[in-house]
Amino acid sequence: MPWDTSDYPSSFKNLDTAVRKKAIDIANAMIDEGYDEGRAIPIATEQAKEWYENASEKEVQQMKQASDHELKDHDEDEYESRPELLEKGEHVVSHEDGWAVKAEDAKQASDVFEKKQDAVDRAKEIARNKGTQVIIHKKDGSIQEKKSY
């Protein structure tokens, strides 16, 4: 991750602590998805401010208390940088390092595993949370199985 709570873009400096942490979280997720830093920073800032306006006091307090490690591990925030991916199915595809879990139309895999079953389990977990489907591919790219949630 390019940024954390001690090293972040200067434009985040004057944001409220919760908004700044949320912006760091969103911007890092966008970078992971392949966005350029110059685009990720203003989008993340705007989305973090919007989140703050709509967040409950409990959510704001949780974000203020979140450590850098917790920011990186929020499953529910995984698709916040690209909300359109929330409605897309999860694909399990062959990857140079094993098997990847990738939302349909995503630029990068969200997870990569050595074992196919681990990737399938993760894809099913994500699809259940999103209420979408899992499409499991064979090594040659053809579809092995589809399952909807």
Q: Which residue has the higher pLDDT, 121 or 1?
A: 121
Q: Which residue has the higher pLDDT, 8 or 30?
A: 8
Residue 46 has pLDDT above 60, yes or no: yes
Query: In this predicted model, what pLDDT tens digit does every residue of 86-118 receive, in sequence order?
Result: 567 899 999 999 999 998 888 788 889 999 999
Specify whether the CB–CB gap between 75 and 129 falls below 8 A. Answer: yes
Domain positions in the chain are: 10-81, 84-148
Residue 21 has pLDDT above 70, yes or no: yes
CA distance 27 to 7: 13
- Predicted pLDDT of residue 137: 96
- Predicted pLDDT of residue 18: 94
- Predicted pLDDT of residue 135: 94
- 128's tokens: 């259940």
State the number of CA atoms in the 13 A half-sphere of 41 facing the CB.
12
How high is the mean pLDDT of the chain?
A: 85
> In percent, how much of the chain has pLDDT > 90?
47
Query: In this predicted model, what pLDDT tens digit does every residue of 64-88 receive, in sequence order?
Result: 888 776 666 544 444 455 555 556 7
Amino acid occupying residue 93: V
- Predicted pLDDT of residue 130: 78
Amino acid occupying residue 118: D
Residue 27 burial (CB count, 10 A): 28
Q: Using CA of residue 123, residue 114, residue 83, residue 8, what is the dihedral sign?
A: positive
Which uninterrupted H or E stretch holds 145? strand 143-148
Residue 47 burial (CB count, 10 A): 19
CA distance 109 to 24: 20
Q: Is 51 exposed, middle or buried (0-12, 13-18, 19+ CB in 10 A)?
A: buried
CA distance 32 to 143: 26
